[in-house]
Amino acid sequence: MPHRDELDYCPPAPVPPPSRLRLLDIIIRLRRNPLECWSEDFFRDPISKLRLPFMDAFLVHDPQAIKRVLLDNAKNYPKDPIQRRILSSGLADGLLSVDGERWEVQRRALAPLFALRTVNSFSAAMLTAADELVAKWSKLGAATIDVAADMTLITLRVLTLTIFSDGIGGDLDEFSSAMTAYFNVVGRIGALDLLGVPPSVPRPGHRRLRRTMAYFEGIIDRIVGMRRERLARADVPSDLLTLLLKALDPATGLRLDMTEVRSNILTFLSAGHETTANTLTWSLFLLSQSPEWCARVREEAERELSSSDGLADRLIVARAVVEEALRLYPPIAALSRSAVEGDLLGEVAVGPRSLIVIAPYVLHRHRTLWERPNVFDPSRFLPDARAAIPRFSYLPFGIGPRTCIGSSFALQEATIILAVLILNFDMRLSEPADVWPVQRITLRMAKGLPMQLRIRKSTDGATACPPTVP
Ligand code: HEM
């Protein structure tokens, strides 16, 4: 039987200030770590109002009101200028950022790229990436490594294998560092945003981004050029790039132009990279703190990993751990919208141009919606209990028309990679550990995740899991 202490393990998170912060404190904490802004009342109240200098903000954590904003009356709540500003550098023409008719055309055209059948066909690429990492770590012996950095590399590797199955023809480490640098600069919400200064006014550090964007665009344009030549010869691999170049809106017959193709590749790379890497990093950390759940994931992996058919559906325990990690540390910690017209959220009147913030980080730890909200307990996501979780209380991927198009891809990837790594390695947190959540664009670990690895041997002395590449 697990220990009572283990059942009640509360992983690291800022303790909410007991009362509301003053605007100046909010600005300081927003720059340092937005997670520190949420005072205790937000975790108890359904809707809270905050007066900002030029607008009202409503912090909405009532499932019915969330349903109204993100689903029933979604047209009245487009993405707000802060979210747009954060997304605007380079991704402006991709699915994440466009609005109105342009978004509708793109969403319809891109839907087949992430349909369940297509995503299932990517499990081989996900296993390949996992096996490559097993091989790399196996060579290290009993080493201490930064797991967060390797999760960033492996999720980028999965995306490059599934988007450009014939490779990026460049240095993956360099590409990954450029992505991280990009997020560090773009992901900060500062005083200029809160004061309503338009996105066209340059923010500190943004000048440096131009070089990074030019670097990304150069690589992508070269790869697309080569793929178009192969398309003309009808000699193409079946990957996301081929699907993207062929994508057609069924309603209008429109194809994406080159700017949209480039922006969407960058969008997939950026939206699907750090988010999934953080999910995996938090999952591995949480398992390192819970011998009971680690053993359950390992036992399941030993049983199920021998074949790749329908694999993600059979890894039920690994998936529950991933979903619990997404609850405690949702990579997109807050969603924001702007009200076009006035509206009623329950009994609360919302004026036009109000900022609406729905924070999965707060919602997932809300005292009225979850039992023992700060406790790590993946059993909440085992099949029977999972079915009882109300739909609008758990939103790691958002909900409604703008819900994450890559959610099945991400869940499948994180589940498979987690199972393979836990099967093959004992992973222990290096002491003294300093694990702390911080929100940039994504919610990540402030100082990486240093862990000691030890390869597991099966009884015959072989590694626990021979390569699973089908
Ligand atoms: C654990 C991993 C992931 C998380 C937590 C996540 C989370 C989210 C969330 C919360 C949204 C909605 C934002 C909003 O409503 O304002 C979103 C949208 C989106 N995500 Fe993900 N995402 C993940 C992985 C991925 C992957 C792997 C891809 C693609 C390869 C992807 C592509 C997108 C795109 C294109 C959108 C915009 C959809 C639209 O507006 O129509 N995401 N994601």
9 in a structural domain: no
pLDDT tens for the 470 residues of the chain, in order: 444 445 689 999 999 999 999 888 888 888 899 999 999 999 999 999 998 878 899 999 999 999 999 999 999 999 987 676 665 555 778 898 888 999 999 999 999 999 999 999 999 999 999 999 999 999 987 788 999 999 999 998 999 899 988 777 767 778 777 776 776 666 555 555 555 556 566 666 666 677 787 888 888 888 899 899 988 888 888 899 999 999 999 999 988 998 899 889 888 988 888 899 999 999 999 999 999 999 999 999 999 998 878 888 999 999 999 999 999 999 999 999 999 999 999 999 999 999 999 999 999 999 999 999 999 999 999 999 999 999 999 999 999 999 999 999 999 999 999 999 999 999 999 987 889 999 987 899 999 999 999 998 654 444 454 444 33
Q: Whose CA is nearest to atom 7 of ligand 1?
A: 397
5 in a structural domain: no
Q: Whose CA is nearest to atom 37 of ligand 1?
A: 96
* DSSP code, position 425: E
Strand 425-429 with 450-455, pairing: antiparallel
Closest alpha carbon to 344 in 41, 44, 64: 64
C-alpha 36/C-alpha 16 separation (Å) is: 7
pLDDT of residue 173: 76
CB-based contacts of 229, cutoff 8 Å, min separation 6:
none
15 in a structural domain: no
CA of 359 to the centre of ligand 1 (A): 15
11 in a structural domain: no
Distance of CA 133 to the CA centre of its chain: 20
pLDDT of residue 205: 62
C-alpha 435/C-alpha 420 separation (Å) is: 23
pTM for this prediction: 0.91
38 in a structural domain: yes
463 in a structural domain: no
pLDDT of residue 269: 85
Structural domain harbouring 218: 25-455
Q: Whose CA is nearest to atom 17 of ligand 1?
A: 404
pLDDT of residue 344: 97
- Residue 424 Rama label (left phi>0; alpha psi -120 to 50; beta): alpha
Name every protein residue with a CB atom under 6 angstroms from any ligand 1 atom: 79, 95-96, 107, 267-268, 271-272, 275-276, 279, 331-332, 335, 396-398, 402, 404-406, 409-410
Provide the greatest CA pair distance for the chain: 69
C-alpha 105/C-alpha 84 separation (Å) is: 19
Indicate the helix (H) or strand (E) that contains 107.
helix 100-110
The minimum-distance atom of ligand 1 relative to the CA of 103 is 41
Report the CATH number that the domain containing residue 179 is assigned in CATH: 1.10.630.10
Indicate the helix (H) or strand (E) that contains 6.
helix 4-7
Pocket test for ligand 1, best of 243, 404, 439, 444 (most atoms within 8 A of CB): 404
The minimum-distance atom of ligand 1 relative to the CA of 413 is 27
Which residues are registered as beta bridge partners of 454?
426
C-alpha 285/C-alpha 380 separation (Å) is: 18
CA of 425 to the centre of ligand 1 (A): 30
20 in a structural domain: no
Distance of CA 233 to the CA centre of its chain: 37
190 in a structural domain: yes
What is the count of structural domains for the chain? 1
The minimum-distance atom of ligand 1 relative to the CA of 395 is 10
Q: Whose CA is nearest to atom 24 of ligand 1?
A: 272
pLDDT of residue 107: 96
Which letter, b or e, does each residue of 145-177 get, where b requires 16 or more Cβ atoms within 10 Å of its Cβ? bbbbbbbbbbbbbbbbbbbbbeebeeeeeebbe
In terms of DSSP H, where are the helices of 111-146? 116-121, 123-138
CA of 176 to the centre of ligand 1 (A): 19
Q: Whose CA is nearest to atom 39 of ligand 1?
A: 402
